[in-house]
Chain A
Amino acid sequence: MSNSPVIHMESVTKKYYIGEPNELQILFDIALDINEGEFVSIVGASGSGKSTLMNIIGLLDRPTDGSYALSGNDTKSLDDIQLSRIRNKEIGFVFQNFNLIPKINAVRNVELPLLYAGMPQKKRTERAMELLELVGMGDRYTHDPSQLSGGQKQRVAIARAMANNPSIILADEPTGALDTKTGRMVMDLFHKLHKEEGKTIVLITHSPELAQETDRMITISDGRIISDAERVPSLIRPDSDSDSDREGADAE
C-alpha cells in the first residue's frame, strides 16, 4: 500500500470553454504522485492553476483529459454518489475563505461531514465538540461563524476537515487570510496532524517560508509543474510548536 501512491496523476489537463473560440487551457500534462503520509506544498504565481489542480485532487472537479487515480482507483469511472462518498470519508477540505456555513454554529458546521456520513445526532455532537476541543475552540461551540475571528474560523474549518478522520487533507491557502501569528498557529495544527496522525497533507501557499516547512515543494507555473523538490533536511524549522500554540490562545 505505501509503495503505491495515494494520489497518482498522469498527463492531466484542464480546459475551459472547450470547442469555443476562447478555449482556455489551465493545466498542461500534469504528472504527479503523492505518497501516503507525505506533507506536500504547492506554490506558484496567482492564476497558475494551483486551486484548479487541488479541486481535481479533491474530486470537486474532473480533469478534461488524463487519468487520476485516488488510492489506486481510477476516478474517471466513479459516479456522483461514489465521488460524494469519497469526499465525505477520505478527504478533508480546508479553504482559503473558510467556507463555513453562515448562521449555523461551530458545532453544527463541524458536524456536517458526520451528518452526511449518517452518524446519529448525539454521537455527531460529541465528536464535533471533541474536535473543536482539539483545535483549541472548546469555548466557542455555540458561536456562529460571524462571531468568530479569521483564525478561529479556520480552526473550526480544520476541525471540520478532520471530522470523518480522512486520510488526506487538502488545504488551499489556509493561512492566506490570516496574520503571521494566526497563520503560524494553523500551520502548527497541520504539522501536528501530519506527525501525530500520519495524514497526507497537500497545502497550497504563497508563503515560501511555510512551503519550506513541508517535506516536498511543488512549483507550478502557467499550468505546468516546473519543479518538484524534496525538502533540504538542514532547513528543519526551529521547534516552536508549544510556544506558538500558547500565543495563539492568548491572542483570542
Chain B
Amino acid sequence: MNFIESIKMAFASLMINKMRSFLTMLGIIIGISAVITITTIGNSIQKTLSNTFNTLGGATLELYLTVKDDYEGEWSEEEEEDMITLEMVDELLAQHPNELYMSVTQNCGKASIPKNDTVDLQVNMLAITDSQFKLPTVRKQIVKGRAISKADCEQCKHGCLVSDVFVEQYFKPNEDPIGKTLTFTMETGENYHFTIIGVMEYTELEKNQLGMNQIRNLDEIETHIYVPYHTMLKLSGKDPGEQTMSWVDIGWTNDCDVETAKKYCHEYFDEKYANNDQWEVEIFDPAEQMGMINTVLNVITIAISIIAAISLIVGGVGVMNIMLVSILERTREIGVRKAMGALNTDIRRQFVIEAIIICLIGGLIGVAIGITNGFVISAIAKAIMNSVASQYAEYITLTVQPSLTAIFVSLGFSMLTGLAFGYYPAERAAKMNPIDALRYE
C-alpha cells in the first residue's frame, strides 16, 4: 500500500466523523493561530517601526567628534583645528563619488522679505547640500521647477527653493514664481539676493507645525527658504574648505550599503585623526538603535510564541486521546484489516497519517486565522491612530507582515505534534493481535 493511498484513506476516515475531527483539531487550531497572531503582530510592529524610522530620517550616518577612549590628558573643549572640516568631507566624498554623499541642513537664521510697502514676510533660511532632496528621508516634493543641484553648491549660485505656502503669501494666484529674484534682509542687516529655482510642498504635519491652523493671517507664517550650502558659506565670508563642524551627516546611495559606508568613513577619519591626542570621529548609526528595538521585540515575540506553542502540546494530548478512543472503537476494523493481509506497518502508517493530517489541517486553519487576526488588529490600530494621533498618521505606514518563518515552523511543529502524539496510539493498533482484535466486543 503506497503513501498516497494512505493519505486518501486517512482523509476518508476523517470525513466519516467530521465533527469529531474538527473538535480534535481545535486545540491545534488555537495553538497555531495564537503563535501566528503573535508573530504577525511582532513582525508587523518591526516592519512599521523600520518604515517609519526611514521616513523620519534614519537613513544617514551621523559622524561626530568624541574624546578618544585612551585619552588621559586634561579634558578641554574641541579647538577649531580639531573639528571636521568641509574640506575633509569633500575629500571623503570625492574618494567614493557615487556611493557617499553629505547631507547638511544648516539654519542660517531669520530673514525678512518685503512683500509690499507695509508687510514684510519673515522666513527661516536653511542652507542645504544638493543631496538633501534626493533623500528618501525628505518627503517634501518639488512641485515646480527643480531642486538645488550639485552645480548650485559647487559654483555658489544664488538660486533658492521656496515653499508652496510662501508662493501663496507672496505671489498673485496665477503668477509664475520661477525666475523671480527675492531680496532677503538678514538679522545681521545684510541683504542677499536669490532667484527662485523651484517650489516645494509642505506636508500636512509640517503645515500644522507652522501653525497654519491657528494663525488667521497667512502673512504671519514663517516659511522655510532653502539655499545652497556653499553659497551661504561664501556669503558669510568663509571659504568652504575652512568651514568646520562638530558633526556631519553622511548618506549612501543604492550603489553602497550602510556597512560599506561606515567602513569608508572609518578608514578616512581614523587616518585623519590618527595623530590627534584627544579627538577622534565616531559614527552613530541610528539604525543600530532600531536593531536594539528589533532584538527586544524578537525576544518578546519568541517568548510569547513559546508559551503559545505549549498550548500545542495540550492540543497534541487531545489528538492522542481521540486517536486512542478511535482505535479502540475501530479494534474490529483493525482485526479485519489484519485478517485481510494488512501488515503492522500498514496499520501504523494509517493511524499516524490520520493524526498528522488532523494536526496539519488544524495548523493550516490556525495559520489562516492568525494572519486574519493580524489584519484585523492592524485595521483596529489604524482606526485608533487616526482618531488619537492623526497628525502623525502620514509618517506611520502600518504594515501587516506575517512571519514566513513562523508559518513554516508552526506548520512543521504541528506535523511533529501529530507524529509525536499519533505514534503511540498507532503503534498500539499495529501491535494488536489479529484474533484478539477480531474478537473485541
Known: A60-B435, A99-B438, A121-B5. A112 touches B340 (CB 8 A): yes
Task: Count A-B contacts at CB 8 Å.
Answer: 62
Instruction: Tell yes or no: B336 within 8 A of A by CB.
Output: yes
Determine which of B335, B343, B438 lies in contact with A80 in the assembled complex, contact meaning CB atoms within 8 Å. B343
Are B1 and A116 in contact, CB atoms less than 8 angstroms apart? Answer: yes
Residues facing A in B397-441 (CB within 8 A) are 434-435, 438
* Interface-centre pick from B5, B12, B336 (highest chain A CB count, 10 A): B336
Residues of the B chain whose Cβ atoms lie less than 8 Å from the Cβ of A84? 338, 341-344
Contacts of B13 in A (CB 8 A): 103
* A116 B341 Cβ-Cβ under 8 A: yes
A88 & B1 in contact (Cβ 8 Å cutoff): no
Determine the chain A residues whose CB is within 8 A of the CB of B12 once the complex forms.
Answer: 104
Q: Are A60 and B1 neighbours in the complex by a CB distance under 8 Å?
A: no
**Which residues on the B side are within 8 Å of A164 (C-beta)?**
341
Interface: B333 (CB within 8 A): yes
Q: How far is the CA of A20 from the CA of B388 in the complex (A)?
A: 81
In the complex the two chains form, what is the Cα distance from A95 to B339 in whole Å? 11
Find chain A residues with CB under 8 A from B341 CB: 84-85, 87-89, 113, 116-117, 164
Contact A116 B434 (CB under 8 A): no
Q: Choose among A81, A93, A101, A160 the residue that contacts B343 (Cβ–Cβ < 8 A).
A: A81
B15's closest neighbor in chain A, by CB? Answer: A103
Chain B interface size, under 10 / 10 to 19 / 20 to 34 / 35 or more: 20 to 34
Q: Mark A53-81, 1 if CB is under 8 A from B, else 0.
A: 00100101100000000000000000011
Whether A32 is near chain B, meaning CB under 8 Å from some CB there, is no
A177 to chain B, nearest CB (A): 16
In the assembled complex, which residues on chain B have CB atoms less than 8 Å from the CB atom of A100?
336
Chain B contacts of A88 at CB under 8 A? Answer: 340-341
CB distance from A166 to the nearest CB of B (A): 10
Q: Is the CB of B337 within 8 A of A116?
A: yes
- List chain A residues, Cβ under 8 A from B438: 60, 95, 99
- Beyond A81-B343, A116-B1, A121-B5, whether A101 also contacts B338 by CB under 8 A is no
Contact present for B343 and A115 (CB under 8 Å): no
Judging by beta carbons under 8 Å apart, are B1 and A160 in contact? no
Q: Are A115 and B1 in contact (CB under 8 A)?
A: yes
Q: Taking beta carbons and an 8 Å cutoff, which residues of A are in contact with B?
A: 55, 58, 60-61, 80-81, 84-85, 87-89, 93, 95, 99-104, 112-113, 115-118, 121, 160, 164
Add 12 more A-B contacts to A81-B343, A112-B336 (CB < 8 A).
A61-B435, A84-B338, A87-B338, A88-B340, A93-B340, A99-B332, A101-B336, A112-B340, A113-B340, A115-B1, A116-B341, A118-B1
